Amino acid sequence: MKKTIALLLALVMTFALCACGQSSAPAATEAPAAEAPAAERPHFDKLTLEFVPSKDADVIITGTKNLPELVKAEMANLGYDIDEVDITVGTSYDATGEAMAAGSIDLGWLPGGTYALYSDDVDVILTATRNGLSNDSTDPTTWNGEANATQKNGPQVTYYRSLIYATPSEYGRELADKVNAGEKLTWEDLDKAKWAVQKTSSSAGYIYPSMWLMENYDGKKISDLSNVIPLDSGYGTAFSYAAAEQVDIIVCYADGRNDYEASWILPTDQQDETGKQGMGRSESIWNELNVIGVTEGIYNDTVAISRESQYYTPEIVAALQDCFINIISTPEGQEIFSVYSHTGYAKAVDSDYDGARAALTAVSD
């Protein structure tokens, strides 16, 4: 009897356990509570980039043909999806500035002067960097002589300088001797000289040398000088005039002597490896073309953004800055931006271009 009762109890317990398992099954198979949808990544249809026509449009377009895909990929890495990146070349510097002011171009590669002109409507986000020189002194005597020949081996910099050079003409040598002896030139010294300068829109060939005069000679500038020859054909003509002793002073970017060092001492019927015509001098350009003035730094080209752009937010601007800094840090990016001789980009602020605004004033007054 006890065995029979025990068997019946075992069967009852087994049935109860099965029943409990069956009653809990629906709870085990219920769908989990719905999760909140993941935050969507920012998505844009198009980013428009425009370059100023400092070189032929075909050269720029060909040189930057791989840039759109690099920008899309890098912006995706930074959390922003862009369907299309469109690159154009403006018909003029002002045309690009005006297009950005109107909001039809998002980002533009603008020279400092053009940026300053349109900075009410666009903001700088990056400054191009370049290889600096071995000398960055504002003391002209440190630039002169073969022993002080500048090398293009300095750190990456965001600016360059213009130099005022005394030529090997008789009066040019007089000016150089005074400066190298530690004497300050007077306005009368400079006004007596024959100057060769570039067009009024040239930063290194006119604007900043004019500012140097203003700062050192009571507001006087190139337009106040008595003997000025404006050149339409570039710096090569200025150096050839200097070599021929036809002028006493020329103005040029700081590494100009590096560029004309070889052709300076070649016979006039020969050319250097870059095609520059020989100038027939027998002495080194470092000894014969002496610096008598050094301008303040001329800030390099900008990458600027339209204030009307949909990308004009602090977060996206920061991403765009990182995007182009990262791209130019790669071999492919270096090759692309070599079309503008840019070797790097540094984050920039508007006040970096206060000098460019002063330069505009110097030219317009």
pLDDT for residue 175 is more than 50: yes
Alpha-carbon distances of 360 from 113, 238, 265, 302, rounded to whole Å: 7, 23, 37, 16
More confident residue, 171 or 113: 171
**Coil/strand/helix, residue 86:** strand
Asked if residues 68 and 87 have their Cβ atoms less than 8 Å apart, the reply is yes
> Using 50, 70 and 90 to split pLDDT, how confident is the model at 137?
very high
What is the identity of the amino acid at 112?
Answer: G
Supply the DSSP string of 308-329, one letter for each residue. TSTT-SHHHHHHHHHHHHHHHT
**Coil/strand/helix, residue 363:** helix
pLDDT for residue 332 is more than 60: yes
Lowest-pLDDT choice from 29-33, 65-69, 221-225, 231-235: 29-33
Report which DSSP code applies to 232. S
Q: What gap in Å lies between CA 267 and CA 281, rounded to an integer?
A: 8
Residue 269 burial by CB count (10 A; 0-12/13-18/19+): exposed, middle or buried? exposed
Tokens of 243: 């070599």
Neighbours of 181 (CB within 10 A): 8
Closest CA to 212 of 233, 181, 190, 228: 190
pLDDT 10s digits, 13-32: 343 333 334 433 334 444 44
pLDDT for residue 176 is more than 70: yes
Cβ contacts of residue 282 below 8 Å, gap of 6+?
265
For residue 290, how many C-alpha atoms fall within 13 Å in the half-sphere facing its CB? 24
> What mean pLDDT do residues 108-135 have?
93
Q: What gap in Å lies between CA 45 and CA 32, rounded to an integer?
A: 36
User: Is this structure's pTM higher than 0.95?
Assistant: no
Report which DSSP code applies to 226. S
pLDDT for residue 284 is more than 80: yes
Mean predicted lDDT score pLDDT of the chain? 87
> Using 50, 70 and 90 to split pLDDT, how confident is the model at 10?
very low
Q: What gap in Å lies between CA 113 and CA 257, rounded to an integer?
A: 24
pLDDT on residue 39:
58
Alpha-carbon distances of 132 from 206, 245, 351, rounded to whole Å: 21, 30, 21
Q: C-alpha angle with apex 50: 126 to 296, nearest 5 degrees?
A: 40
What is the identity of the amino acid at 57?
Answer: A
pLDDT on residue 365:
65
pLDDT for residue 215 is more than 50: yes
Question: What is the share, in percent, of the chain residues with pLDDT greater than 90?
Answer: 68
Tokens of 20: 């409990």
pLDDT for residue 228 is more than 90: yes
pLDDT 10s digits, 32-78: 444 334 457 899 999 999 998 876 788 889 999 999 999 999 999 99
> Using 50, 70 and 90 to split pLDDT, how confident is the model at 6?
very low
- What phi, psi does 113 have (nearest 5°)? -65, -40
Alpha-carbon distances of 32 from 27, 35, 82, 178, 237, rounded to whole Å: 10, 9, 35, 89, 80
More confident residue, 57 or 295: 295
